[in-house]
């Protein structure tokens, strides 16, 4: 069996293969509530052939949204709307289901990407953003308010409350977002964190607040369900967060009882040159896996089945998470199984299109 399609045990869950659908913001919610777009979008991806579908970065409070279109899990209405989507995916899909909990920090209060992605103006519904230090994300962005102890208490409580809502909804996995330049990454990175109290300065201090939230989630989330984190392997800027820092953070998360980490990079500042070659972030995941032993997921321009198989088979990562590859082909897992000689579960309504039942599956790929 190809390594990519071998099962893996995490917490009390067995995943049928090593493929995850990565969280992908859709910017299509209303006041944080999932709608028909999410029902259709996630309904398709729940039958993608991936073992796990992780719902997009989901804000734990309204000011933690990137845009007004961000998904949230901070109210009863949010919980009910997302619960409807999850129930449909559970009823008709084959993938296990997870959600990524996040707070945008200083990168919040922005236009959706197809409207430019810039900061909202005062007349455009802008809201106050918070951050570890009063440093704007970029020129033209407002200066965030430096977080107080009360802010930290409120954000910690918001993460726990969202995790409790995720548990009631019935998610199999919660992923803590510690990357991409959002609030908890802002605490970790010396580029964005200039505090002089116990939450700034040394690596230990900069990790303190994110690890407090991690410990809160570990206490709130059942041990028989999967708990993970997306961390960053590099800020891609001199003096920023490094792969050695990622190893230290992964060790601390492992000690707290986290089941896996996904290793991404970038996002703390704009206009940084990132060598976006195929699999460009895989070496970060490989280093974290090698030096800590924690279950590790690779992400970043992974698109071809043979490429994903090499990552797993070579031991560079235990799992791979794909994003735009699934937007391009919502049945990417089916195509990968065909190419690598494996099988994946399909909904019964689609079984007659499987290669063993329909010659056209082979014919169409031979024509390609």
Q: What is the DSSP string of 32-58?
A: TB--HHHHHHHHHHTTSS-SEEEEEEE
25-29 long-range CB contacts below 8 Å, 24 or more apart?
25/56, 25/57, 25/66, 25/70, 25/71, 26/56, 26/69, 26/71, 27/66, 27/67, 27/69, 27/70, 27/112, 27/113, 27/114, 28/69, 29/69, 29/70, 29/71, 29/72
Q: Which two tokens stand for residue 300?
A: 């970043």
Q: Which two tokens stand for residue 357?
A: 């039942």
Instruction: Tell whether the torsion through CA atoms of 78, 20, 250 and 132 is positive or negative.
Output: negative
Residue 207 CA to residue 251 CA, distance in Å, equals 12
Strand partners, 299: 321
* CB atoms closer than 10 angstroms to residue 5: 23
Residue of 74, 182, 199, 260 marked active site: 182
Q: Is 242 in contact with 188 (CB distance < 8 Å)?
A: no
- Residue 362 has what pLDDT? 87
Identify the CATH number of the domain in which residue 124 sits.
Answer: 3.20.20.70
**42 catalytically annotated:** no
Q: Please, what's the b/e burial string for 56-77 (b: 16 or more CB within 10 A of its CB; e: otherwise)? A: bbbbbbbbbbbbbbbbbbbbee
- Residue 136 has what pLDDT? 98
Bin 268: left if φ > 0, else alpha if -120 < ψ < 50, else beta. Answer: alpha
The total of structural domains in the chain comes to 1
Q: Is 250 in contact with 214 (CB distance < 8 Å)?
A: no
- Residue 367 has what pLDDT? 67
* CB atoms closer than 10 angstroms to residue 118: 12
Query: What DSSP assignment string belongs to 145-204?
Result: EEPPHHHHHHHHHHHHHHHHHHHHHT-SEEEEE--TTSHHHHHH-TTT----STTSSSHH
Residue 56 CA to residue 292 CA, distance in Å, equals 27
**pLDDT < 50: residue spans in the chain:** none
- Residue 276 has what pLDDT? 85
- Residue 361 has what pLDDT? 87
- Residue 85 has what pLDDT? 98
Number of H helices, E strands in the chain: 11, 12
Selection from 167, 198, 40, 4 nearest residue 98 by Cα: 167
DSSP 137: S
Query: What DSSP assignment string belongs to 289-310?
Result: HHHH--EEEEESS---HHHHHH
Residue 233: give the domain boundaries.
Answer: 3-367
DSSP 105: G
Q: Which two tokens stand for residue 301?
A: 């321009």
Residue located via tokens 């308010």? 145
What pTM was estimated for this model as a whole? 0.97
């Amino acid at each position: 069996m190809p390594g990519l399609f071998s099962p893996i045990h995490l917490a009390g869950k067995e995943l049928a293969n090593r493929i995850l659908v990565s969280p992908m913001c859709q910017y299509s919610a209303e006041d944080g509530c999932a709608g028909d777009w999410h029902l259709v979008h996630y309904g398709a991806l729940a039958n993608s052939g991936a073992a796990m579908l992780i719902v997009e970065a989901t804000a734990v409070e309204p000011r933690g949204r990137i845009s007004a279109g961000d998904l949230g899990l901070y109210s009863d209405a949010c919980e009910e709307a997302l619960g409807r989507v999850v129930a449909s995916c559970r009823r008709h899909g084959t993938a296990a289901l997870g959600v990524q909990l996040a707070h945008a920090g200083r990168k919040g209060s922005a236009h959706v990407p197809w409207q430019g992605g810039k900061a909202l103006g005062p007349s455009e519904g802008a809201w106050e953003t918070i951050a570890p230090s009063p440093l704007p994300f970029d020129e033209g962005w407002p200066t965030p308010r430096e977080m107080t102890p009360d802010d930290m208490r409120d954000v910690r409580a918001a993460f726990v409350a969202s995790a409790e809502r995720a548990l009631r909804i019935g998610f199999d996995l919660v992923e803590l977002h510690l990357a991409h330049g959002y609030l908890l990454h802002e605490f970790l990175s010396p580029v964005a964190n200039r505090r002089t109290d116990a939450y700034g300065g040394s690596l230990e201090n900069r990790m303190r607040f994110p690890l407090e939230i991690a410990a809160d989630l570990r206490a709130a989330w059942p041990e028989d369900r999967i708990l993970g984190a997306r961390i960053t392997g590099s800020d891609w800027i001199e003096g920023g967060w490094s792969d050695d820092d990622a190893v230290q953070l992964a060790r601390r998360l492992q000690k707290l009882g986290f089941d896996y980490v996904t290793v991404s990079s970038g996002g703390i500042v704009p206009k940084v040159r990132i060598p976006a070659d195929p699999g460009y972030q895989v070496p970060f995941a490989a280093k974290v896996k090698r030096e800590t032993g924690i279950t590790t997921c690779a992400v970043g321009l992974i698109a071809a089945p043979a490429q994903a198989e090499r990552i797993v088979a070579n031991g560079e990562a235990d799992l791979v998470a794909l994003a735009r590859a699934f937007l391009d082909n919502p049945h990417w897992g089916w195509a990968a199984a065909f190419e690598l000689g494996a099988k994946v579960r399909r909904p019964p309504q689609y079984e007659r299109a499987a290669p063993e039942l329909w010659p056209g599956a082979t014919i169409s790929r031979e024509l390609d």
